[in-house]
Structure 1
């Protein structure tokens, strides 16, 4: 069992000097060179071993690479080189909180770094010449003509990463199959023993899958990487979906080429899990088939008391490896993926309840993410509890997070009297504050599932009418990690401590109002919780360098894209940021050295049409505004996923927005909705979905409608387009096209 070394003190335990063994032994490893790395990598890196351990200096042909970065970003990289301060973010962190997700890579940090360098090297060698040719062609002509050509490209090019951008977007099959060998010997033996035990417990497993590594382990399950031996023999379209090429989730729908090795993640659920929990997880995952950026259910099977769930394998990195360095476009893509996933599952009346970095598998090289682990998920409960009903309704078609009840629906005088009584208790001495040992009141029952530090105020107040707003709060906590560059932030041991952590930020008055909304009272005589601190101020205090423009990091999205593609992403994001209506607050003036580095331009490439520092400060202002909306303490006022995707921080403008009408053009409607929704049905006996089809009647040369059942994930209309079964159906005129 993992041991929790975290101190209960609210200060961040991760702000310590580096104790990373890899950093200390780095120069020694480079000196050995040929023994640790390939000959080719040793040849490139060896020259930099004596004077630097900066990853930017390990890249071959540095002048050429710096020109590439300068052309993409407008920065002159050589002037922005700074010594990187490595911090061991694993020290003192509990494994229980972060190893439940199946995608967290167990590969040692040194091995992951070597893998990252290999991707950079391959990108330079394979795509360098083509990139230069594209840049030379576009450099010709006058400035006005170039801008016109770029505008036309916005109509055709997708600014999101797609499955065919560059080779690093596809898995390196030999490397993925050999990840177990990169781990320590004792861990290899442990994993091999677990794999053999799993195969013995489920004999039919070896016929279809080859288990090769362990991806993660948790309280109720373990997840293993495997090769699907019979992928090409089955029809995979129900779980692949039909996301259009311009969608950020199109990579989910791309079938693997014939003859390729296909990796999957197999979740082994322990016998300690209750049958209802297992059934609930499988049913909800089946309902989420076709959702964007959600781990898809391929199949599941049971042998005696053993249950296994098969899902696609999604390459990702540990959140602690990139959250401090991920560029702003990468942060935006992270939340676009996450909020699209939440929008899709909330539209199906599903709450995830455990949104956290470990359960969102994000690849910082490609900008692709996938929401996983539905073990705590549940359907919305529209019924009000018998006791302690809240002063809000749970949800409606027009109010996704509910709304306040009118005063005629509850006794406002009684509510006011309870508020007055609570404030009187707050003024008494400490010996009179607390709760009775033998409380005679009716106990409040509510779902309190989730991970500490990510639970919303309504969960802590035991609200009986929770909805998707609890997931939005968790997403806001993740954004807070990115902005403060600190993780974790909240580490309370129980609900009372968690409420006090929030009270020190939100203030006593706000906490009283939130408690009243959920028909509860909040009283405390702690003097330090009287005043409110905005989330913006909180983030600025924890990160004094919040507004300082960072140097481009070649390891992360979008700088891993081809040169022209990366330039398009950056220019589009700059256009989106500068078009926002939020006024940028006055930011602290950066130091002279950083200011010069930020404003430096590449001598070998034309200056960009936007100022990187101004764009970054605007992005931070937008991010802080979104943070306030994601972490609104009152659930009924918290922003919805659909609204968040339209926020200036995440909104996509220009030709793409006009052509696809923003995110709505790629939204997969729940089964039975969309333009062809009236041609769908659910069988009253089997509860299986079905569709109505039109066809020729061979007997009388007429046109008749037929009914057929479909599998979960089939028959989903996307945006304003009909599903795959009704491409020949005119929904507006309610007729079939011949």
Structure 2
């Protein structure tokens, strides 16, 4: 009787939730997504957020199918600032190349104004970091085979993924299923079969020409001659200054109900580090509409007129001095800021290097780090090699750098400084290094990292080195083809991380290596690793050839 009364008393007050509880900001994000794309509520029941990136958020949802059946799906919500051509290109990659050979496909696509949601099959997967220290050697071989199989598929269609990393290659360990995802940064090869990637490539080349102008300096006066495309209109300075720096990525592309506001609402965003910015609305999305120029307000005050005239005169004189100074510099002049805490005018006058730079730090190929413009599918193969290096060494992330030159210096510590310098010459770049670093034996490196009980220094291969006594490494890059850059220098002092920063990078296995087959790693594994990490993109192994490597001889093709 007491139990019955308790049940009656608690009925309606305490209920076991039918789905996981969603709290905080995630609940707000889901509600906003339902409001932005109302048709989702008729088909999907969103359970929670399973991923978030710079350009999108991914949610787990339950699809209500006909006949009362339910299916788990992944909803990828692209941020409203994504360029329409970029969104369409990502969809085209999923439709044409996806759905087989470990490449993620697409089920549906929903759009409401500038909000786009891509519906994809959901693959439950494990975190790469969580399973790295328990993978057997055979599992690693299967993992790499399936990754290369996916790369072969997309490279056949002329797709360069540009962001190959473990979090973009989903792995269900129990079901032995794999999926290459996220084509948001993909670009096309010259012979790509994805038509919209050709459009993106054409726009990127046009923007490179627009921004690839010399930057001249004289004292504290800097004149940047880079200009925006004519279709874009620059916002008044007062309006731009009121915006927070963090809101730049949230700039809305005026579509749907905001399209009537006209081109005056557009912002000009300069490409950063040579990266193609697809958040800027280009001529491809103007629908051939005419663009009205914003006229400067007429100055009626006499005093204000005098001040304005004085500014124009000063500006003209300054520009003349700048141009004269630039023309007075001989092409073979050497900069005088080497190893100093300042940058000279010669270095500041260097022509801006514009090249694709997409990807994740630690996985970028040498040709990406040195801003080589003609990048191919070889950059995906380098990223696959970095993943393979992590799998063989048990270390993730293997490289951790704050900028491109530091990343390049870290690559030298493994592949050698002379080898890196020689490879860079093959694609028109020159690298200067302050010390000669020999290339390391990949087998010895991986075996020491996997079995070491001490922090391992990647600069010398010595597990007992005292990090506090390491010499600094300086590296610099410039373009061979430009005579003015042959003697100009861009420097960076590469400081090794402290022991505390490095402690979390060496992952030690709790099981004996012999239990997982790590005592019988064949030479073919390190031979394939060496070919994947070929510093020269022209000779780096392709996905098709890698699948035929002796390392996979016992795996069914």
Cα distance in 2 for partners of 1:464, 1:356 equals 22
Shift of 1:365: 1.6
- The 8 Å contact of residues 99 and 106 in structure 2, kept in 1 or not, is answered as no
Q: 1:643: Cα distance to partner?
A: 1.7
How far off is 1:286 after superposition? 2.2
Show CA shifts across 1:26-78 (max 9, x none): xxxxxxxxxxxxxxxxxxxxxxxxxxxxxxxxxxxxxxxxxxxxxxxxxxxxx
Match of 1:322 in 2: 131
Q: Aligned pair in 2 of structure 1 residues 441, 357: CA closer, same or farther (>3 Å)?
A: same
Note if contact 2:384-2:532 (Cα within 8 Å) is conserved in structure 1. Answer: yes
Contact 1:285 1:297 (8 Å CA) reproduced: yes
Counterpart in the other structure of 1:303? 112
Which residue of 646, 664, 670 corresponds with 2:548?
Answer: 646
Question: Is the CA contact (8 Å cut-off) linking 2:363 and 2:386 kept in structure 1?
Answer: yes
- Whole-angstrom CA distance in 1 between matches of 2:414 and 2:524: 21
SS in 2 for 1:539: helix
1:485 aligns with 2:394: yes
Determine if the alignment matches structure 1 residue 531 to structure 2 residue 438: yes
1:172-205 deviations in Å (ceiling 9; x for gaps): xxxxx97734xxxxx6343333222211111111
Equivalence for 2:377: 468
| Stretch deviating more after TM superposition (261-270 or 277-286) | 277-286
For residue 180 of structure 1, the aligned residue among 9, 20, 26 is 20
Distance 1:272 1:223, change over 3 A: same
The equivalent residue for 2:354 is 445
Note the 1:339-488 alignment, pairs <5 A. 339-381=148-190, 430-431=339-340, 438-488=347-397
| Equivalent position SS for 1:523 | strand
Aligned positions, number:
350
- After superposition, give the CA deviation of every residue in 1:575-632 in whole Å (9 maximum; x if it has no partner): xxxxxxxxxxxxxxxxxxx99x96xxxxxxxxxxxxx89x654435332222111111
Matches within 5 A, 1:487-566: 487-525=396-434, 527=435, 529-544=436-451
Q: Is the 8 A contact 2:381 2:543 kept in 1?
A: yes
Q: Deviations over 1:324-372 (max 9, x none)?
A: 1111222122112211110000000001000111111111222211010
Q: How does 1:622-637 map to 2 (within 5 A)?
A: 622-637=524-539
**Alignment match, 2:42:** 207
Contact 2:424 2:536 in 1 (8 A): no
Distance 2:417 2:185 in 1: 31
For structure 2, the 5+ residue unaligned runs are 1-16, 192-200, 213-331, 454-510
Q: Which of these residues, 509, 521, 534, is aligned with residue 619 of structure 1?
A: 521
SS in 1 for 2:354: coil
SS across alignment from 2:521? helix
In 2: Cα distance, 1:348 partner to 1:532 partner: 35
Q: Secondary structure at the match of 2:132?
A: coil
Q: In the TM superposition, what are the counterparts of 1:113-152 in structure 2 within 5 Å?
A: none
Q: Is the 8 A contact 2:424 2:430 kept in 1?
A: yes
Q: Which deviations, in whole Å up to 9, do the C-alpha atoms of 1:288-341 show, x marking residues without a partner?
A: 134311110112121012110110001101111101111122212211221111
Whole-angstrom CA distance in 1 between matches of 2:172 and 2:433: 43
- CA RMSD in angstroms, aligned pairs only: 3.4
Structure having greater relative contact order (Cα 8 Å, sep ≥ 6): 1
Q: Summarize the Cα distance change of 1:351–1:617 in structure 2 as closer, same or farther, 3 Å threshold.
A: same
Distance change in 2, residues 1:537/1:298 (3 Å): same
Judging changes above 3 Å, is the alpha-carbon distance between structure 1 residues 432 and 210 closer, same or farther for their aligned structure 2 residues?
Answer: closer
Q: 1:429 to 1:313 in 2, by over 3 A?
A: closer
2:522, 2:394 → 1: CA distance?
13
In structure 2, distance between residues paired with 1:211 and 1:286: 24
User: Could you tell me which residue of structure 2 aligns to residue 220 of structure 1?
Assistant: 55
Distance, in Å, in 1 between the alignment partners of 2:376 and 2:529 is 19
Please name the residue that 1:284 is paired with.
93
In structure 2, distance between residues paired with 1:322 and 1:642:
27
Residue aligning to 1:337: 146
- What's the secondary structure of 1:265's corresponding residue? strand
What do residues 494-549 of structure 1 show as CA deviations (whole Å, max 9, x unaligned)?
11111111122222211211211110111122x2x432223333323322369xxx
Aligned residue runs from structure 1 range 601-612, under 5 A: none
Partner SS for 2:23: helix
CA separation of 1:505/1:367 partners in 2, compared to 1, >3 Å: closer, same or farther? same
Structure 2 counterpart SS, 1:452: coil
